[in-house]
Structure 1
Amino acid sequence: MFPSWLEYSPTNDAAYCLLCYLSTEKPNGNPTADVFTRKGFKAWRKINSGKCCVFLKHIGESPCSSHNNAVKASQDLFNQSMNIRFALNEQSSEQILHNRLRLRCSIDSVCCLTFQACAFRGHDEKPSSKNRGNFLEMVKLLASYNDELAKVVLENAPYNGKYTSHAVQKELLQIMSCKVKHYIREEIGDSKFCIIVDKSCDESLREQMAIILRFVDKHGCIQERFFELVHVDDTMAITLKKEVCDVLSMHGLNVSDIRRQGYDGASNTRGEWNGLQALFLKDCPYDYYIHCFAHRLQLALVAASREVFAIHDFFSHLTFIVNVACSSTKRNDELQKAISAEIINLLEIGEIESGKGQNQKSNHKRTGDTRWSSNFGSICSMINLHNPTCVVLQEIRKTGSSYTTRGDANVAYKLLKSFEFTLILHIMKEIMGITDRLCQALQQKSKDILNAMQLVSYTKTLIQKLRDDEREGRARHQMDHITVGQHFRVNLFCVTIDQQLQELNHRFCPETMELLILSNSLVPKDVYKAFDIDNICALVHKFYPLDFGEQDKKSLRYHLHYFHLDVVSHPGLNKLSTMSELCEALKTTGKADTHYLVDRLIRLILTLLVSTATTERSFSTMKLIKTRLRNKMEDEFLADGMMLYIEKEIVDQFSTDSIIDEFKSKKDRTVKF
């Protein structure tokens, strides 16, 4: 039987070694190689000569003979799995897996650090450093728990594909921030929305403007989303309006779709004639300005009272006394010892009772310009800690280390023991106690309109009652014009009350009050007890004429009759208490399509009242992210970090692969993913 490598040519009447013919260019010293490759083999009688068989001589004894090398070459040629094309593809696929794994680690590190408001960079990020910064240390920690990851990150990664540079960190952060904004934009859809704008300085004293959007999503749920943080060169109303409009237009949101605007109460934003409120009303006449009720009530009652010089001096003295008594850890320890001694003394004489959770140690609370209850809290803490504070101040004025310390303690002690300071302290506790209780109630009920106007009216009633009681008391006690009582009654108490009543009437304007009172007719509490068809129709005709066509306005009354009959008897709609619950229930039960006019009106009304929780959270987040050690942070980096920190629940919905694909398409990258 002839070997498989032997091929016969009928034309030449000769046999050839196909493998050697294809791969051998020279005989390489084998005498039979030329016969089987060029001349052709014809001596058939020599094939049965035993060890001298010409076939055996051609094959050769050495494994490295020309024929054996040709056989190996042919095997490699026909082995497709070893083809260079497949080898390159296999290597490329493996490299892609390594790149994606490496980038996935960087994405997870960015998310983790951002969610915790931690810094990324380190002071020394060299491999020899003991602390390379939070980001690199996080990557190192993740690699220590995964051998596969450890082989492809940090020093084991290629020079041009580590994905740990500061530029890559910011790029990943920006990609996720843009995805969050896109998600919010899709949530809004074609719905009407409201804007809430507030301003504050960051750690580097740069003026930042936070923009929050409030809307009702496609599921009928109220959403209040942080949308953007913008650095503004000045706080003029025209500048703020331009920045807000630029942000909205960048994401395809129309100013004409705004149905409510809320600001921080400053004059350059809430100004009736030249403020930001007025500028937006020129573009959209039905963009009503309604600030947070709790915030507005606090501004009215606290800020108005400080218009009185004596009250302003009182708060300045209060701050001074707290600073002197608690300006160091040593003084704070002395205050705590005095408080303990006071508690022990009161327990011994039976003034207070012991029990679990009672008689806890406390400290002075400082007043703040933006914290609503801080003034009331500071006053209460001063009343509760009056005696221990006097003990500490007496000790400081005796044993103070310098004349300045002793002098300040002496002034603070005299102020604290003065009759006027003590009287104003209790007067302001009485007045601001009303403010604090109502502000808390308004914050808890700010998701709906029910009781909001009643609470404001009740505040006016209480303030007016204080004024009337004072007048009756003065009538009973006819005093001379120049007395101490006359001074405190007329020049202090009456002026403070009158200033607050004036401010309440100014901030809660008649148009806003009417809008909210009419809106209250759709509240479903007590089986739609407040439901009033005439008020609802008046609300649509007067305040929302552009959102309803002429035919809708004509048929609205009939729709409302049918709506009331339907919801009162519906088991899923007759036990609700707020309009937000009603809006969501209409969508859940499928009644939103049936009562589409009512659903549209409810969605508009739900943008009217708003808490400032998101605004407060945004600026609290800014203080967490842009700290003293990170005061050179860029505006874009700060805004992106705040977006991820505040809207964590949205970021959690994004897959890592989608972020990688976005990272891949963002630039023409040489590395494959």
Structure 2
Amino acid sequence: MSVIIRIVRMDDDEAPEIKEHFLGFLVASQTTGLGLSSLILNRLEELNIPFDDCRGQSYDNGANMKGKNKGVQARLLEKNPRALFVPCGAHTLNLVVADAAKGSTDAVIYFGNIQKLYNLFSVAPQRWAILKDHVTLTLKSWSETRWESRINSIEAVRYQAPNIREALLEVRDKATDALTKVEAQALAEEVGSYRFHICTVVWYDILHQVNHISKLLQSATMQLDVAVDLLMKAKTSLTRYRDTGFSAAQASAKDISDEMNVEAVLKEKRLRGTRKHFAYEAPDEPIRDAMKRLEIAFFNVVVDTTFESLKERFESLGEMRSRFGVLLNFKELDGEALSNQCDELCSTLSTEDEKDIDEKELALEISNLPSLPSSDMTTLQLLSYIHKKQLKELYPSLWIALRIACTLTVASAERSFSKLKLIKTYLRSSMGQNRLSGLAIISINHEIGKQLSYDDVINDFAIKKARRQKF
């Protein structure tokens, strides 16, 4: 398990800055909500970090993490009701794409063919050399867990389909094994088919947009309000793509087919091939047109499932943004609405004994804010503006609320596991847990690591390892 804390660093001379600090990898011997929550609390206690100061928690979408009754977030909320749970945006977006792919049998078959392409060439150096002779961008294996990263495996097919088909035909001609000849021939026919081109264009368009948003959500400086705005734009873009995407994909697929110079073959086999792979029969009104079947059974299913999953999975993220919405939309509120939203925010950040901010003071501070340089500032920009103008003493409640809002989003846990793959290789298979976690901390927090004195570290190491005792 990767543990990361997220703070807003405050320096008198510099602007407020969102910082994330990696605390190490922990061995999770028990994956229950009780076991994982105890592991987190023990780690914070070891580092003398009081959990009562926590105002947010973010995890992936496992039931043991986000469970409402016995999950980690529920158990930690019992200890600190102000540790608000915000689901991991990057991981949630990854599950959105996974839902879309699993919703259509045709999509599952398509990704299976993509993997078969990679396996055919990568299994032997001679075949890989043939592929590299024909393409500039090589094939890549898609990830089983990071769905949006599958754009890397589709990109080569999207822009080099004719070259890949020629490489497959060369493998077929040079292969001595009958099974290899059959597999290469079958994949060459598949890559040259019109339906395959349509699926490639559709998936590339969807994954290209999702991958861009996913990278932004994994940014260490990402804020809750910005994340929600990005997801709203993604929903709007999907709505537009639903109306014009399939016709545009057909046009792009036709260009690819024309490049392969197989128009005659497509005219003869297009409907037969499409019926074979994308058969769809409505119970009341059978659809006879092959392209219409492809649009209904593949395109509509993938886009609609993506849209609905995006809407459902990010509902809690939008709800959390609405609680802190008064920090962004206060210019649009009248006196009563401003007071009500300040009350809601203050109750969110309060317990029976303590509260972070006072609702009346917050409403008064917001109503007395000076003219801002922009009408659509983010929470971090507004915080930086107050710091720059040296107004934090005049707006203490707003100052605290903005700092809390800046920490309520996903941490960089997704990136820490990418670093783990680079450190824990087959050459270091016998590495112990303490050394692994220590190297990861140094590598991820490299900015702090550069400030360490090598001489002090060497001296401490020498003293601990010295065998000769001084009397």
Fold-level match, TM-score > 0.5? yes
Residue in 2 that maps onto 1:277: 73
Matches within 5 A, 1:480-499: 480-483=285-288, 484-499=290-305
Name which of 115, 119, 127 aligns with 1:319: 115
Matched, 1:403 2:178: yes
Name which of 434, 447, 454 aligns with 1:649: 447
Instruction: Return the TM-score normalized by structure 1.
Output: 0.56
Structure 1's 620 and 485: CA in aligned 2 closer, same or farther, altered over 3 A? Answer: closer
Name which of 146, 151, 165 aligns with 1:390: 165
Code of the residue aligned with 2:115 in structure 1: it is: T
DSSP 3-state at the match of 1:228: strand
Residue in 2 that maps onto 1:537: 342
Structure 1's 237 and 489: CA in aligned 2 closer, same or farther, altered over 3 A? Answer: same
Q: 1:320 Cα deviation (Å)?
A: 0.8
Matches within 5 A, 1:40-119: none
* C-alpha separation in 1, matches of 2:188 and 2:91: 34
Residue in 2 that maps onto 1:246: 42
Q: 1:401 Cα deviation (Å)?
A: 3.2
* C-alpha separation in 1, matches of 2:220 and 2:22: 21
Q: Which moved more, 1:209-218 or 1:539-548?
A: 539-548
* C-alpha separation in 1, matches of 2:25 and 2:356: 40
Q: 1:628 Cα deviation (Å)?
A: 0.7
Residue in 1 that maps onto 2:55: 259
Structure 1's 231 and 580: CA in aligned 2 closer, same or farther, altered over 3 A? Answer: same
Superposed CA deviations along residues 141-176 of structure 1, whole A, max 9, x for unmatched, are xxxxxxxxxxxxxxxxxxxxxxxxxxxxxxxxxxxx
Tell me, yes or no, if the aligned pair for 1:449 and 1:519 is still in contact at 8 Å. no
Q: Which ranges in structure 2 are unaligned for 5 or more consecutive residues? A: 248-283
Tell me, yes or no, if the aligned pair for 1:552 and 1:597 is still in contact at 8 Å. yes
Code of the residue aligned with 2:152 in structure 1: it is: G
Residue in 2 that maps onto 1:134: none
Tell me, yes or no, if the aligned pair for 1:520 and 1:530 is still in contact at 8 Å. no
Residue in 2 that maps onto 1:192: none
Q: Which moved more, 1:597-606 or 1:426-435?
A: 426-435
Code of the residue aligned with 2:346 in structure 1: it is: H
Q: 1:577 Cα deviation (Å)?
A: 4.7
Instruction: Return the TM-score normalized by structure 2.
Output: 0.77
Larger Rg: 1
Matched, 1:452 2:221: no
Q: 1:466 Cα deviation (Å)?
A: 4.5
Residue in 1 that maps onto 2:321: 516
Matched, 1:268 2:64: yes
* C-alpha separation in 1, matches of 2:321 and 2:414: 24
Residue in 2 that maps onto 1:377: 152
Q: 1:621 Cα deviation (Å)?
A: 2.9
* C-alpha separation in 2, matches of 1:406 and 1:667: 62
Structure 1's 252 and 443: CA in aligned 2 closer, same or farther, altered over 3 A? Answer: closer
* C-alpha separation in 1, matches of 2:122 and 2:467: 58
Structure 1's 218 and 666: CA in aligned 2 closer, same or farther, altered over 3 A? Answer: farther
Structure 1's 485 and 579: CA in aligned 2 closer, same or farther, altered over 3 A? Answer: same
* C-alpha separation in 1, matches of 2:94 and 2:340: 30
Residue in 2 that maps onto 1:299: 95
Q: 1:633 Cα deviation (Å)?
A: 1.0
Superposed CA deviations along residues 432-460 of structure 1, whole A, max 9, x for unmatched, are 34323444555569533454323322322
Residue in 2 that maps onto 1:214: 6
* C-alpha separation in 2, matches of 1:331 and 1:400: 9
DSSP 3-state at the match of 1:594: coil
Code of the residue aligned with 1:212 in structure 2: it is: I
Superposed CA deviations along residues 198-255 of structure 1, whole A, max 9, x for unmatched, are xxxxxxxxxxx11011012342432100012111224333322221121112223333
Residue in 2 that maps onto 1:461: 236
DSSP 3-state at the match of 1:623: helix
Structure 1's 322 and 210: CA in aligned 2 closer, same or farther, altered over 3 A? Answer: same
* C-alpha separation in 2, matches of 1:306 and 1:668: 59
Residue in 1 that maps onto 2:142: 367
* C-alpha separation in 2, matches of 1:462 and 1:538: 35
DSSP 3-state at the match of 1:411: helix
Matches within 5 A, 1:164-203: none
Residue in 1 that maps onto 2:209: 434
Structure 1's 458 and 406: CA in aligned 2 closer, same or farther, altered over 3 A? Answer: same
Tell me, yes or no, if the aligned pair for 1:325 and 1:389 is still in contact at 8 Å. no
Name which of 639, 643, 647 aligns with 2:437: 639
Structure 1's 663 and 439: CA in aligned 2 closer, same or farther, altered over 3 A? Answer: closer
Structure 1's 538 and 505: CA in aligned 2 closer, same or farther, altered over 3 A? Answer: farther
Identity of matched residues, %: 25
Residue in 2 that maps onto 1:34: none
Structure 1's 440 and 625: CA in aligned 2 closer, same or farther, altered over 3 A? Answer: closer
Superposed CA deviations along residues 375-404 of structure 1, whole A, max 9, x for unmatched, are 223223212111111111112122213233
* C-alpha separation in 2, matches of 1:368 and 1:297: 15
Superposed CA deviations along residues 590-642 of structure 1, whole A, max 9, x for unmatched, are 43233211111111101112353xx3442233223222121011111111121
* C-alpha separation in 1, matches of 2:91 and 2:356: 38
Superposed CA deviations along residues 323-362 of structure 1, whole A, max 9, x for unmatched, are 21344433233223324xxxxxxxxxxxxxxxxxxxxx32
* C-alpha separation in 2, matches of 1:550 and 1:284: 13
Matched, 1:503 2:278: no
Residue in 1 that maps onto 2:397: 597
Matches within 5 A, 1:328-367: 328-339=124-135, 361-367=136-142
Structure 1's 416 and 600: CA in aligned 2 closer, same or farther, altered over 3 A? Answer: same
Q: Which moved more, 1:389-398 or 1:213-222?
A: 213-222
Residue in 2 that maps onto 1:75: none
Matches within 5 A, 1:26-41: none
Residue in 1 that maps onto 2:254: none
Q: 1:408 Cα deviation (Å)?
A: 2.6
Structure 1's 306 and 586: CA in aligned 2 closer, same or farther, altered over 3 A? Answer: same
Matched, 1:624 2:422: yes
Tell me, yes or no, if the aligned pair for 2:20 and 2:411 is still in contact at 8 Å. no
Q: 1:410 Cα deviation (Å)?
A: 2.6
* C-alpha separation in 2, matches of 1:292 and 1:550: 25
Residue in 1 that maps onto 2:359: 553
Q: 1:558 Cα deviation (Å)?
A: 1.6
* C-alpha separation in 2, matches of 1:337 and 1:666: 56
Q: 1:425 Cα deviation (Å)?
A: 2.0
Tell me, yes or no, if the aligned pair for 1:211 and 1:227 is still in contact at 8 Å. yes
Structure 1's 260 and 482: CA in aligned 2 closer, same or farther, altered over 3 A? Answer: same
* C-alpha separation in 2, matches of 1:551 and 1:237: 31
Code of the residue aligned with 1:506 in structure 2: it is: E
Matched, 1:229 2:34: no
Code of the residue aligned with 1:625 in structure 2: it is: I
Q: Between the two structures, name the one with larger relative contact order (CA 8 Å, sep ≥ 6).
A: 2
Residue in 1 that maps onto 2:273: none
Matched, 1:606 2:398: no
Code of the residue aligned with 1:601 in structure 2: it is: A
DSSP 3-state at the match of 1:593: coil
Tell me, yes or no, if the aligned pair for 1:463 and 1:501 is still in contact at 8 Å. yes
Structure 1's 626 and 517: CA in aligned 2 closer, same or farther, altered over 3 A? Answer: same
Code of the residue aligned with 1:289 in structure 2: it is: F
Q: 1:508 Cα deviation (Å)?
A: 1.0
Tell me, yes or no, if the aligned pair for 1:308 and 1:495 is still in contact at 8 Å. yes
Q: 1:300 Cα deviation (Å)?
A: 1.0
